[in-house]
A and B are shown apart, each in its own frame.
Chain A
Amino acid sequence: MTELVLFGLVGLVAVFAAVFMLLSDNAVHSALFLIVTMGCIAFLFLLLNAPFLAMIQITVYTGAIMVLFLFVIMLLGAESLQAADSSPEASKRFPWYTRTAIALVAALLLIVGIVLGQVNLDLQPNTGAAPQLSVLNAAPDVGMVDVYANDDLIASGLEFGVDPVAVTLPEGDYTVRVEPQNGAPVSVDVTLASGTDQTLVDYGSPDALQLSVVAADNDTVSEARSARLMFFDAFPAVDAIQVVDFGSEFDATDTRVIVGDLTPGQVSEALIWEEGTINWSFVDASDTTNVLFNLNDYAIKRERSDLIVLTQQRVFNGTEGGVLRPLALPISVEARPAYGGPRAIGLALFTNYVMVFQLLALLLLAAMVGAIVLTHREVKPITQRGGRRRVSRPLVNVIASQVGHEVTSEAAVPELSESAANAAPVGE
């Protein structure tokens, strides 16, 4: 409700300022009213989740561009040229002018109104980015898997432990089915809302393959300079696991349990952890001396969301068929920059829109050169004659034009007559 009120107020101010810009008699006032309109539009950008553009709008538009306008208005002394609008001369030259303009604008309004009335835009604003889905294959013996969302193939040939590639899907409810090379397919229902990421992990053995939705919305990091850590137990060999920080090896007393008992298929609460390296261990919860896997010097980077999946890997060590060993698979996802923020705009600018950006840079360069060429005036070089008192040239010219002959020394300046002294300065 507040937003609606704000929109109404600011929109009204913007429209009224635009109207007054057109109505005011003084061009400087018009420029100031236009600044108000642009400020209002900057505020509306804020309401529309575009904080970066709001900043740009204020600095570039209301700042640089309008200052340039005001400068040129004052330079040309064009404040009061408005009066020409209503002069009889103007209406003599173009008698049909005003009526045509009003008719054209009315036609424009009519067309846009009809279009807006006819077209159903289905307007429920959605603010977030398109949802993403990624699947990690953590089942050791099933071979490659194919992933289907509502019977559409979204990923094929996913190998064991490969860092998943996120697939962007439209919002909605999906039944995600994983079809392994060996074993029966499994499926799970997922709801994808905008602005969220979902990670699915398949684990277990070919005859008991399981599929879990692990980290919902894993792209949000609540605090800067930290990462979000989650642990997922895909290790069916023990009943429960713990994540333990054993501390330094010299002091066994500072052992800390980071994550309590995780049963197979369970995902831990999200930890917000500062960036740095960790040396944590996965242990059997019933026997904490049974270390399953050590995370050695695992680097936590800021503004990322890490999901660490403890699963099994088949290792062929000479025995028949190999053995299953514990393995932790980390999935690290960069947190998506906030929509409309400087990071998001910069990211898009330097990835998808680099070419346009370069072209714009060239355009700006051309504009710069153009402005210089257009306003450049040839100035004749002034030759200094030796032995002459250095009166600044423009002043000498002014005096010469007033007294009628060239003045070369102070003594030669005659008393100015009353009329000459009161004459308007040269240049107006």
Chain B
Amino acid sequence: MVVQTEAYVLLSMVLFTLGVFGVLLKRNAILVFMSVELMLNAANLALVAFARHWGQEGGQLFVFFVITVAAAEVAVGLALIVAIFRSKQSINIDELHQMEG
């Protein structure tokens, strides 16, 4: 028996929600980043599920692109975190408020 697309979308939604939780509640910038990765993964899962549903490969191609963009994003993001850590000795996002109005 083939698992229905709904089940995958539901799982994807749960994982995405957990990722949103992490982004909103975590104070450690690296963990916020990892939560963003979790959200991207959840979106990928939904894309692949829909690609199978329609029998077309476009969705899988987009997952490929998302993974590439995620790799670029992680490289730049972690470089930013390292740079911030150098100047402030902390990556607690509550302490990064020098741009406050």
Contacts and interface: CB of A to CB of B under 8 A. Distances in A.
B78 A68 contact: yes
Contact of A374 (B22, B83, B94): B83
Contacts of A50: 48, 51-52, 60, 63
Given A50-B60, A61-B70, A3 B2 contact: yes
A3 B3 contact: yes
Given A18-B18, A104-B24, A48 B30 contact: no
Contact of A15 (B5, B18, B69, B80): B18
A379 interface: no
Contacts of B18: 15, 18-19, 21-22
A81 B89 CA distance: 12
Contacts of B83: 374-375
Contacts of B26: 22, 85
Given A69-B34, A69-B74, A61 B55 contact: no
A367 B8 CA distance: 32
Contact of A61 (B2, B17, B67, B72): B67
Nearest to B83: A374
Interface residues of A, number: 88
Interface stretch (A29-37, A242-250, A258-266): A29-37
Interface of B: 1-11, 13-15, 17-22, 24-28, 30-31, 33-35, 37-38, 41, 44-45, 48-49, 51-58, 60-61, 63-65, 67-76, 78-83, 85-86, 91-92, 94
A37 B17 contact: no
Contacts of B35: 21-22
Contact of B65 (A19, A360, A377): A360
Contacts of B1: 1, 3-4
21 contacts: A14-B15, A19-B18, A21-B38, A41-B41, A53-B63, A53-B67, A57-B67, A60-B71, A69-B74, A76-B82, A84-B27, A90-B27, A90-B94, A104-B24, A105-B24, A108-B17, A124-B4, A340-B60, A345-B60, A349-B64, A374-B80
User: Residue among B9, B34, B91 with the most chain A CB within 10 A?
Assistant: B34
Q: Which 3 residue pairs across A and B have the least CB separation, nearest first?
A: A367-B72, A101-B24, A374-B79
B11 A15 contact: yes
Given A4-B1, A61-B41, A85-B25, A371 B75 contact: yes
Interface stretch (A125-133, A147-155, A156-164): A125-133
Given A47-B3, A60-B67, A94-B94, A123 B53 contact: yes
A104 B86 CA distance: 33
Given A14-B11, A127-B55, A370-B79, 5 more contacts: A15-B14, A41-B41, A72-B82, A340-B60, A370-B76
A49 B5 CA distance: 13
A194 interface: yes
B73 A367 contact: yes
Nearest to B90: A81
User: Residue among A14, A104, A356 with the most chain B CB within 10 A?
Assistant: A14
A251 B57 CA distance: 52
B4 A75 contact: no
Nearest to A87: B27
A412 interface: no
Contact of A27 (B31, B64, B75): B31
Contacts of A367: 71-73, 75-76
Contact of B34 (A4, A31, A75): A31
Nearest to B10: A116
A68 B67 contact: no
A224 interface: no
Contact of A53 (B48, B80, B81): B48
A97 B2 CA distance: 42
Contact of B71 (A41, A90, A348, A364): A364
B83 to A, nearest CB: 5
Contacts of B60: 50, 52-53, 340, 345
A299 interface: no
A69 B65 CA distance: 20
B8 to A, nearest CB: 7
A371 B18 CA distance: 28
Contact of A364 (B2, B27, B34, B72): B72
